[in-house]
Amino acid sequence: MKKRWLRRGVFTVILTVLPCIPALLPPPAQPEAAPAMPEVTQTAETEISTTAPAIVENEGGCRTVYRVLQTKTGEIAEIPVRDYLIGAVGAEMPASFSMEALKAQVVAAHTYAERQAAHAAGRTDLKGADFSDDPAQFQAYLPENVLRERWGENAQTCFDRVDAAVEEAGNLLLEYDGEPIIAAFHAMSSGKTESAEAVWGKDVVYLRSVESPYDRDAPRFEDTLTVPAEEVFSTLTGAHAGLTAGGDASEWFGEPVRTDAGTVLQIAFGDGVFTGQEIRSLFCLRSADFSVDYADGAFIFTTCGYGHAVGMSQYGADAMARRGYTFREILAHYYPGAELVEVE
């Protein structure tokens, strides 16, 4: 049956620039047993097509379940949409975050699932599923019993908060040109989000760089990793065949070329050039906004932010929510030009 959308129109508030802030609020404390903020490997990490085939619909006009491939067993579980959203939001965002931030995450998670399911046809690795529970390829998802175990003594409070967010926003999707958007999100930017073009090489109109200054007060906003020079040499020469680097190790790296938001586009090493994303991947850095220093026979990588920096910043969303912004305004800011629609 044809899906019927009840459009609410383009957002009335597009926050192109966040106001200047005299002081940043401290990040919220997570419950004792709450999971740590995860690294988000989200939609556009593997798929950034700006068009999508028509969504496969169940009778009645919209999905009632998602078919999720269980990576541990190889079985496909049919999970009601509401339960899936609770499991996805609980896995991707601390339940201690503000309610408006949780609602924004619900919409992003729902949009992500709908778009991925629409692209699932023909993927032999999914065995007929809409997507899998593998967070390295898709959105993270944890069943209720696992979430409750992680949340520990705060389990009921955490569950009730996520459940309430799903109740409020679980019937909403973000669209562009009538299709679910690439609802990319990440833990925190370096103060300004990145465009899809800068990170993945393809322009996506609603994934543009926007200000996100509140991120600078997030925990572990700045992080360092020290790697022995010989390990750096072997890793990078092994990654690029024929690459050489001689002389003083302190001169192996050149000055990085960056985007306006800080992401390293490319950096010279010896007689070769690497992208910032390559360096991030090879050394498991928290972000591609990094600097490199040399001291005592080792390289020190200093990163800002956490994640690919495209789309919604989760810590930024939480900080906005604590300053009175609604989830609609948060989504309008991080996905400019996207349209919020209600599904039956």
DSSP string, 44-90: GGT---S--PPPP--TTSS-SEEEEE-TTT--EEEEEHHHHHHHHHH
Q: Whose CA is closest to 239, among 271, 269, 280, 282? A: 282
Is the pLDDT reported for residue 8 higher than 80? Answer: no
pTM of the model: 0.81
Is the pLDDT reported for residue 275 higher than 70? Answer: yes
Q: pLDDT tens digits for 175-224? A: 999 999 999 999 999 999 999 999 999 999 999 999 999 999 999 999 99
Say how many CA atoms lie within 13 Å of 9 toward its Cβ: 4
> What average pLDDT does the structure give for the chain?
85
Q: Taking residues 115-127, what's their average pLDDT? A: 86
Comparing 24-38, 63-77, 109-123, 258-272, the range with the smallest average pLDDT is 24-38
Is the pLDDT reported for residue 174 higher than 80? Answer: yes
Q: How confident is the model at residue 234 (pLDDT cuts 50, 70, 90)?
A: very high
Q: pLDDT tens digits for 281-294? A: 999 999 999 999 99
Structure confidence at residue 62 (pLDDT): 65
3-state DSSP assignment of residue 118: helix
Q: How confident is the model at residue 136 (pLDDT cuts 50, 70, 90)?
A: confident
**How far apart, in whole angstroms, are the C-alpha atoms of residue 123 and residue 197?**
25
**How far apart, in whole angstroms, are the C-alpha atoms of residue 233 and residue 224?**
19
Percentage of residues of the chain with pLDDT beyond 90 = 74
Structure confidence at residue 336 (pLDDT): 97
Is the pLDDT reported for residue 273 higher than 60? Answer: yes
Alpha helices in 261-324 (DSSP H): 276-283, 314-322
Is the pLDDT reported for residue 14 higher than 70? Answer: no
Is the pLDDT reported for residue 268 higher than 80? Answer: yes
Instruction: Output 47 or 139, whichever has higher pLDDT.
Output: 139
Q: pLDDT tens digits for 27-81? A: 333 332 223 333 333 433 444 433 333 334 444 346 889 999 998 999 999 999 9
Q: How far is CA 18 from the centre of its chain?
A: 20
Is the pLDDT reported for residue 138 higher than 80? Answer: yes
Sign of CA dihedral 108, 113, 118, 119: positive
- The side-by-side arrangement of strands in the sheet containing 290-295 is 222-228, 298-304, 290-295
